[in-house]
Amino acid sequence: MRVVTWDDGRVSTVASVAVTAPLSGAALRGAYADSLRRLTRGLVQLRDGAVRAGPVALVRFGAPKVTRNAVDWPIEGGLLARGPGGRWRLQASAGRVEASLSGYRPALPRPLYLVTHLQVHQLFTRLFLLQVHGREPAPGTRASAEERRRSAAVDAALCFTVAGFTGRRRLRRVLAIAFIYHVVCWSTGGRTLGGLVTRQRVVAVDGSRLTPAQSLLRLSLLPASWIARRPIHDEMASTEVITD
Q: What is the pLDDT of residues 223-236, one digit of tens each?
A: 999 999 999 999 99
User: If you compute the radius of gyration of the chain from its CA atoms, what whole number of angstroms results?
Assistant: 20
Domain boundary among 109, 133, 157: 133
3-class SS at 40?
coil
What gap in Å lies between CA 156 and CA 169, rounded to an integer?
Answer: 13
Q: Does one domain contain both 116 and 179?
A: no
Q: Are residues 235 and 149 in the same domain?
A: yes
C-alpha span between 163 and 169 (Å, rounded)? 5
Q: How many CA atoms lie within 13 A of 110 on its CB side?
A: 10
Residue 71 has pLDDT above 70, yes or no: yes
213 and 237 belong to one structural domain: yes
pLDDT of 154 reads 96
Mean per-residue pLDDT, 88-93? 97
Report the alpha-carbon distance of residue 187 to residue 155 in Å, rounded.
16
Q: Are residues 92 and 23 in the same domain?
A: yes
- Position 159 scores a pLDDT of 92
Cα distances (Å, whole numbers) of residue 240 to 18, 88, 102, 141, 202: 17, 29, 31, 9, 6
Q: Same domain for 175 and 127?
A: no
Say if residue 125 is in the same domain as residue 6: yes
Q: Could you say which of 100, 133, 166 is where a domain stops?
A: 133
* Residues 10-24 pLDDT 10s: 999 999 999 998 999
- What integer pLDDT is reported at residue 113 of this predicted model? 96
Contact between residue 52 and residue 63 where contact means Cβ atoms under 8 Å apart: no
Q: What is the pLDDT of residue 169?
A: 63
What's the CATH code of the domain at 108?
A: 3.30.530
The predicted-structure confidence for 165-224, as pLDDT tens digits, reads as follows: 876 668 888 999 999 999 999 999 999 999 999 999 999 999 999 999 999 999 999 999
107 & 7 share domain: yes
CB of 136 closer than 8 Å to CB of 163: no
Q: For the segment 95-107, what is each residue's pLDDT rounded down to a tens digit? A: 999 999 999 999 9
**CA–CA gap between residue 133 and residue 91 (Å, rounded):** 13
At residue 75, what are phi and psi to the nearest 5 degrees?
-90, 125
pLDDT higher than threshold 80 for residue 244: yes
Residues 9 and 73 in one domain: yes
Kindly tell me if the per-residue pLDDT of 111 is higher than 70. yes
For residues 105 and 83, give the distance between their C-alpha atoms in angstroms, rounded to a whole number.
7
| Higher local confidence (pLDDT), 170 or 149 | 149
Work out the number of other CB atoms within 10 angstroms of the CB of residue 144. Answer: 12
Instruction: Please tell me whether residues 159 and 178 are part of one structural domain.
Output: yes
Q: Among 116, 133, 150, where does a domain finish? A: 133
pLDDT at 74 over 70: yes
Q: What is the mean pLDDT of residues 24-51?
A: 96
Side-chain-side CA neighbours of 98 within 13 Å: the count stands at: 16
The answer to whether 32 and 46 have CB atoms below 8 angstroms apart is yes
Task: Indicate if 125 and 173 belong to the same structural domain.
Answer: no
Give the rounded percent of residues in the chain with a pLDDT score beyond 70: 98
pLDDT at 163: 86
Instruction: Give SS3 for 150.
Output: helix
- Domain containing 115 equals 2-133
**Are residues 158 and 117 both part of a single domain?**
no
Task: Report how many domains make up the chain.
Answer: 2
- pLDDT value of residue 1: 55
pTM for the whole thing? Answer: 0.93
Residues 204 and 98 in one domain: no
Query: Residue 5 region, left (φ>0) first, then alpha (ψ -120 to 50), else beta?
Result: beta
The overall average pLDDT reported for the chain is 94
Closest Cα partner for 181 from 197, 168, 163, 165? 163
Q: Residues 157-172: what's their mean pLDDT?
A: 82
